[in-house]
Amino acid sequence: MNEQAAIADDLRLRILQEPDVILEDADVMRALITANDRTMGGNVVDLRGVAMDRLEARLQRLEDTHRSVVAAAYENLAGMNQVHRAVNAFLEPLTFDDFLACLGNDVIEILRIDKLRLVLESQDAADNPMQHDVLHVVNPGFVRDYMGMGRPMRRVILRRVDGNAGLIYGRNAAWARSEACISLDFGPNRLPGMLALASATPTHFTPHQGTDLLDFMGGVFERAMRRWLG
C-alpha cells in the first residue's frame, strides 16, 4: 500500500507540475471523460462532454481538410515545376531535328509520360507523309475529329484512351490508357495542330484534373513552333 501511495503521489505531483501533458493527450482526456461519465450515472447528461465530442469531431474534420489542401498544394506545385521544366527544354533546341528529339526524349521524361505526338495537319499529308516517332502529319480536319469525337472541342482534353489511339500512337497502342490532347493554333492561314500526351496509367490524365498548366504549355509550344513553320 505504501508503494502504491508513493506511485500515486508521484503521478499527482507530476500532473500538478505539468498539467499540459494531460490536456494535450487526447487518449488520456477521453479516458478521463469516460470515467467521469460512469461516476455520474446513466441519468445525468454531461453537456460539456457532448460539446467536447462535437468539437473533437469538428477538429478532426478540419485536420483532414488541412491535410488534403496541403497535399493538393504540393501536387500543384510539382505539376507546375514539371511543366516549366518541359517548356525550358523544348525552347532550347536550335534546329527542328533537335526540337523533335527533345520532345521524344527530354519532355517525355520530365512529364513522366509514355508517348508524345506532335500532330500537324497538311493539305499534302497523303502525298508527302512524314513518318517520325514524334511528328505525325495528317489530313485537314483530323484534329477536330480526334479531339471532339462528336462533342464540342476544347483547348485541352483529358480522357481515357479508347480504340482510336492507334490513329496517332501506332498499331500496337493497347498500352495507352489515358491521354491529354492540346489543340494548337499556329496563326492566320495556317492549319491547326495538336500535342498528344499518352500514358499507360489510366489515372494519369482524367477529366476532373485542372488544365491550366497544360493550356499554358500549349500556348508556349505554339509560339515555339511558329519559328519552325515560318
What domains appear along the chain, each with residue ranges and CATH number?
94-229 (3.30.450.40)
Q: What is the pLDDT of residue 126?
A: 66
SS3 at position 229: helix
Q: What is the pLDDT of residue 3?
A: 47
CA dist., res. 221 & res. 230, Å (int): 14
Three cell numbers at 37? 461519465
Q: Are 147 and 180 in contact (CB under 8 A)?
A: no
Q: What is the pLDDT of residue 98?
A: 93
Q: What is the mean pLDDT of each run of 10 residues along the chain (230 residues)?
A: 57 78 73 66 57 75 76 69 92 92 94 93 70 84 84 85 76 86 91 93 89 93 86
Q: What is the pLDDT of residue 1?
A: 46
> 112 Cβ partners below 8 Å, 6+ apart?
82, 204
* Nearest of 210, 89, 227 to residue 155 by alpha carbon: 210
Q: What is the pLDDT of residue 92?
A: 92
**CA 203, 184, 86, 106 torsion-angle sign:** positive
Q: What is the pLDDT of residue 31?
A: 75
Q: What is the pLDDT of residue 8?
A: 72
SS3 at position 159: strand
Q: Are 161 and 179 in contact (CB under 8 A)?
A: yes
Q: What is the pLDDT of residue 93?
A: 92
CA dist., res. 29 & res. 156, Å (int): 52
Q: What is the pLDDT of residue 4?
A: 46
* Nearest of 215, 203, 196 to residue 177 by alpha carbon: 203
Q: What is the pLDDT of residue 197?
A: 94
Model-level pTM greater than 0.85? no
DSSP letters, 167-219, are: HHH-S--TT--EEEEEEE---TTS--EEEEEEESSTTSS-TTS--HHHHHHHH
